[in-house]
Structure 1
Amino acid sequence: MGRYREWQGTATHFTGKEEWSIVRRNQVSRFIGRNIELFTFSLPAVIYIFVMAYVPMFGAVIAFKNYEYDKGILGSDWVGFQNFEFLFKSENAFRITRNTILYNVSYMLMTTIFALLVAILLHEISKKWLKLYQTAMILPFFLSWVVVSYITMAFLDHQNGFLNGWLTALGFEKVQWYFDAHVWPYILNVVHLWKSIGFSALVYFAGILGIDAELYEAARIDGARRWQMIWNVTIPQLTPLIIILLILSIGNMFRGDFGLHYFIPNNNGMTYSTTDIIDTYIYRALSTLGDVSMASAVGLYQSFVGFVLVVAANFTVRKINEENSLF
């Protein structure tokens, strides 16, 4: 604070823009010098993000060109918004857009509710078994969707699947799961929840561990029971974390999970009406037509909509409670 007041006093002696910019540069230089160790530690992450996230943004121009490999990005002909017409004029546009949004909304809500519930249960159980439960729940998160698809097939296979085996033992007929489109919204939600709940629950569990223990002690002195402490202490304290994660999830609402919707239903055309999303539809179009420009246009469209949704969600939260907003 003393340095800041000293700088303020110095700055009052300058009136021109050039002198003011010199003072600002000196202030930045002193700030970097005082925190050079932190900047050094963060340098690898900054370089990684710059190379992997910002440099490829130059390729977004492909979405507005008729890309040809021999001409390159700059040499290809400019076509404006013609590439975007592929999605909007498609007869399947409404179906895949509806599926993408509805699936992401259900994934977001189910994962938040059940992960929060599991995190609270983890906080209440004996510490003796805590590591075992944490390891068992986080393991599916690290499995690839290819592996998960084989696990799913072990349950849903028409001839030798576990579910059909149980149905036969109970006297029911076997169900051809991979040819019945109506059951896949439930199957995909269950598989997504099984794979993602472990990681999300650990995030909320870490948030619970950061809650001041004196709040629970005060509630206990006031005669609150466990469920009352959960409702009046745990959940209110986790609200900022829940809102931040929801805002980030809203940004991906228009971008489906390709691995989940491609590998789990085995890319079966009989279930496209309920399993097809924008990502899988564009992948099939790209692998069939080889139209890089069209795929880039749809990817840019998804990213733009996701950005708008994040800003809109954060603006809404900021209007309700500024402290819980992301930025």
Structure 2
Amino acid sequence: MIGDQKGFSMAFLLAVVSLLSCCQASYFILPRVSRTDDAIIIDLDGSGYASPFQGKNWYGQIANPGFIPVPSFNPYPMMFRQQQQPSGWPYPSGYLSRLEEEPIDVKQVAATCGGGPATMPKTGGLASGRVYGAIVAKKGAWPFIVALQKSTDGKLFCSGTLISDTKVLLAAQCLEALSLYEISSVTALIGMYLSDQSDVQMTRRITKVVLHDKYNAFNYANDIAILTLDAPVAISKTVGPACLPPASSDPDQYVEENAIIMGWGTEDSGVIKLQQTKTAIPIMANTECKGDSTFGKYVTDATICLDTSSTGPYACKIDKGGPVVILPSPGAWTVVGINSYTKDCFSNGLKTRVSAYRTWIDTYMK
């Protein structure tokens, strides 16, 4: 009888330990981290778990991450499972992802990219009063812009560009300062117009992050990353990818081309509608970019900048990672830049030149 009691006690203890481990894992998920010749890959899909890792500046520790993958598990406790929807995951902000009310025929859109205004926007529109040189964008005009939200405070902290139904292009700096735990809980907001997130069409969690291996936080070199969403977005008139430019080693490939930037443009707590440039802004030659007193020292052949000297506007901090787009042909809005160095809402900034990384992007789009 005593032996039976000991056996029962040991079995009960193991059950408790297993239960506690499961519960701890549901809140502290450590993704698998690997490295290739030109990228750091953070895989959150079916990742293992370890003790809580809440520290900052994980990027500098990737050379020796020390993470040992363990068998995959469902990271969500049983009480959450019935809340999951095919179009998204449960969210602490209190809403589930939802599709656009009137989606169009996906077959008509799936093979295309670059949806947006029919022509390059000119002057006019409703002045926002929030960002110098910006106007309020028409709702649904820019189907490829994505906002990123932290689960810790529910605030927007970066932007990105949808480049397929499952991939988002953005700046590496958006994630560099986050712990692995924080990255695992980032929410991508798709089809959003209002900064209070009340009109988000779809929400997605992230299953994979690919950052350029040579990203340098001190000089903004190779400031580029790709996110993989947990489920494809529903392509519609107001949600769809931007086109990618052809690969090029020419730093002045798009000099004098007119470009548009967009974003929510402020970190104020008020509700802001999506902003865009009031006029098309020319892309400057790199030699001119190097003359800028604030970011000239960061200019390389893989960056571009815009001539905002007379028109503005400028990207703000929450617009980091967002798109710089041109219109080479009707219906083909193309992302040629990523907002990188951004001092404040009233200063010009530096952009990562997307065409310099086209081969890298193609590799990790798979």
> What TM-score, normalized to structure 2?
0.20
Work out which of the two has the higher radius of gyration on C-alpha atoms and give 1 or 2: 1
Higher relative contact order (CA 8 A, sep 6+): 1
> What TM-score, normalized to structure 1?
0.21
